[in-house]
Amino acid sequence: MTEQAATAGGSPSEALEVWIDQQLCTGDGLCVQYAPEVFEFDVDGLAYVKDADGELKQSDGARVSVPANLRLDVIDSAKDCPGNCIHVARAADGVLVAGPDA
């Protein structure tokens, strides 16, 4: 578990949701490298989240569930994102565990 997740009370076993603020995305692609099953570039050069079926979610604030085996990768992508645009929250109560406001 990352220090950031521990600080926010997150644990690797909690269900999480993730979303990207495209206004802040710099298109560096670290998220796509960390978890290509969750993040993908679109033609505009920005990263977006995608659901379990691989459908890109392009609406503002669109959230997807984080697969259990990728929770730590998604948290790390939020922590390392140069644009500080990735938000990760506990699905149960919406408390942020990683990202710019965590």
pLDDT digits (tens, 9 = 90+) for 11-69: 556 899 999 999 999 999 999 999 999 999 999 999 999 999 999 999 989 999 999 99
The per-residue pLDDT for 1 is 40
Q: Which fold has domain 3-49+69-98?
A: Alpha-Beta Plaits (3.30.70)
Ordered DSSP codes for 33-92:
HH-TTTEEE-TTS-EEEE-TT--EE-STT--EEPPGGGHHHHHHHHHH-TT--EEEEETT
Question: Which among 57, 100, 81 has a CA at the least distance from the CA of 89?
Answer: 100
At residue 84, φ and ψ (nearest 5 deg) are 50, 50
Q: What ranges do the domains of the chain cover?
A: 3-49+69-98
Mean pLDDT of 80-101: 95
Least reliable range by pLDDT among 3-12, 62-71, 74-83: 3-12
The per-residue pLDDT for 79 is 96
Other beta carbons less than 10 A from residue 11's beta carbon: 12
The per-residue pLDDT for 91 is 95
